[in-house]
Amino acid sequence: MMRWTKCPVGPIQANCYILENEEKEALIIDPGAESEKKFFRLLRKNRCVRLPSC
């Protein structure tokens, strides 16, 4: 099962999306200004976190 989370980030509260699966992998989509903060928070609870490249 996949879990989809929308969370507002940055000073203008733009939407960041996080997709997580049961194998403890996560994908951060459009992290904006808080990419490192989101990345390390997810890394504490998941085995593998990916930031998509452009």
- What is the overall mean pLDDT for the chain? 76
| Residue 43 pLDDT | 67
Q: 53: Cβ–Cβ under 8 A, 6 or more apart, which residues?
A: none
| Residue 50 pLDDT | 66
Token pair belonging to 31: 């992290």
| Residue 16 pLDDT | 84
Q: Are 29 and 16 in contact (CB under 8 A)?
A: yes
The residue count for the chain: 54
DSSP code at position 33: G
- For the question of whether the overall pTM of this predicted structure is more than 0.75, the answer is no
Q: How confident is the model at residue 37 (pLDDT cuts 50, 70, 90)?
A: confident
Residue 49 has pLDDT above 80, yes or no: no
Q: How confident is the model at residue 51 (pLDDT cuts 50, 70, 90)?
A: low
